[in-house]
Structure 1
Amino acid sequence: MTEQTGVSAQDIVERVWLSIAERRLRPGVQLKEGQLAAIFDVSRARVRQALAALERDGLVTIIPNRGAFVCQPSVEEARDVFFVRRAVERCIVDRLCKSISKANVTRLRTHVAKERTANAQNITTDIIKLSGGFHLLLAEVASSDFLFATMRDLISRSSLITAVYRNTNRFNCGPDEHADIVEAIARGDPETATKLMEHHLEHVETELDLSEIRDQPHDLKSALA
């Protein structure tokens, strides 16, 4: 089979992730290799690479002899993820307040500026990516491979949980709150920065309706079209 030029495994991963975040691709949907290969005009081998990456990110479950399915996080898992996030992000913020460089403060401010632009222009794709990306960038500039890897997993799981349980039409967790956190870090004020982060994550969690999943899975082709 001749593959469509430029469609990589990462491209497929991002399309699936975005479809989940935009609530077009629902938990429980089976991601059939043949159907994905046809949709993206790529080989099954490339699809398998993408599915393996999605499984590592906690967005897909691969069941032997059955196939790959979008994960269905439970209410208990959702609460656990946000509980762990609060602990990890407190650690990250505290570390940054003690050691962040001016260059990295600039990186964070630049990121927040991009979030504001995406919000002003209502670019859904950028809003979703930049919102989670802010928290991942905090972990990156903290210069800890462990914290970065932990946050990458938590952000992926949070994106799925938010897609499933979000009770509003907002796709992001707010550049204004992000900006306040950055300025507290820049001042080297761990007490304020930690309180702001805790409030921020509580705000995100309160926008979730942690009850049973109400929506039925959508058709794969229409979700990714």
Structure 2
Amino acid sequence: MDALSAEQIAERIWLSIAERRLRPGMRLKETELAELFGVSRAKVRQVLAILEREGLVASELNKGAFVAEPSVEEARDVFHIRRSVEQRVIERLIDRLDDDKLAVLAAHVEKERVANATNDQRAIIKLSGGFHQMLAEMSEAGFLSGLMRDLISRSSLITAAFRDSDKYNCGPDEHDEIIAHLRSGDVKAARKAMAHHLDHVEKELRLSGERDTVRSLKDALLLSE
């Protein structure tokens, strides 16, 4: 029996992309992935299908699967759409917040602070994206929540491709500012804080099209437990 599910393997590959271990354009060989994860090739094909649906992997006939290579224009498009979606999330969320939801958000930001203090890059990446997904889910808008899942996945690929630094930090201070405005019920200020936050994230990208040399698949997937 395979030890890991397709979803678990997909998440580990996603993290490798977000951590800049797996670089855009790197080939994902079925046989090598099956050996590295100790699973069947059928399971690997399920994993690649999941990642392809999320825009993280591209397949070419007779060539196989590769980590997707977003263009500069695609990167700008994703952030343009994120701005619109996250503004709408704020509008939907503002009237649906209660003390319990605010407490969950505050606790999440505290976890982000701990991850930053210990420089736990994997936790930082997961928690940063998780904050935005949590807002969408709390808005009780299934359509927006689905859009955010896709946009967060694509954003992780884009930041891996174009980020100047190996360190990823979506920003607990800026997340905390958004929560403060949500708590006070100031939708205009919350929307402004979210727009500023996304501008900050995008400005950290080097949208020149230059990319680093890829590493081997084996090295890229050496993830700590």
Normalising TM by the smaller chain, what interval?
A: over 0.9
CA contact (8 A) 2:20 2:166 kept: no
In structure 1, the residue matched to 2:148 is 151
Q: How does 1:78-97 map to 2 (within 5 A)?
A: 78-97=75-94
CA contact (8 A) 1:97 1:187 kept: no
Q: CA deviation at 1:166?
A: 0.5
CA contact (8 A) 2:162 2:211 kept: no
CA contact (8 A) 2:121 2:167 kept: no
In structure 1, the residue matched to 2:197 is 200
Structure 2 counterpart of 1:116, one-letter code: R
Instruction: Say if 2:218 is the partner of 1:221.
Output: yes
In structure 2, the residue matched to 1:55 is 52
CA contact (8 A) 1:59 1:160 kept: yes
1:171 pairs with one of 168, 175, 193:
168
Structure 2: unaligned runs, 5 residues or longer: none
2:98 pairs with one of 101, 110, 120:
101
Q: Determine the C-alpha separation between the residues in 2 that align with 1:214 and 1:89.
A: 28
Q: CA deviation at 1:65?
A: 2.8
CA contact (8 A) 1:29 1:220 kept: yes
Q: Per the alignment, in what secondary structure is the counterpart of residue 73 of structure 1?
A: coil
In structure 2, the residue matched to 1:110 is 107
2:32 pairs with one of 32, 35, 53:
35
Structure 2 counterpart of 1:183, one-letter code: A
CA contact (8 A) 2:87 2:191 kept: yes
Q: Determine the C-alpha separation between the residues in 1 that align with 2:120 and 2:128.
A: 12
Q: Determine the C-alpha separation between the residues in 1 that align with 2:4 and 2:19.
A: 21
Structure 2 counterpart of 1:213, one-letter code: E
The TM-score with structure 1 as length reference comes to 0.95
Q: How many residues align?
A: 222
Structure 2 counterpart of 1:113, one-letter code: E
Instruction: Say if 2:179 is the partner of 1:182.
Output: yes
Structure 1: unaligned runs, 5 residues or longer: none
In structure 2, the residue matched to 1:72 is 69
Q: Per the alignment, in what secondary structure is the counterpart of residue 47 of structure 2?
A: helix
CA contact (8 A) 1:104 1:141 kept: yes
The TM-score with structure 2 as length reference comes to 0.95
Q: Determine the C-alpha separation between the residues in 2 that align with 1:90 and 1:59.
A: 24
Q: Determine the C-alpha separation between the residues in 2 that align with 1:181 and 1:170.
A: 22
CA contact (8 A) 1:94 1:190 kept: yes
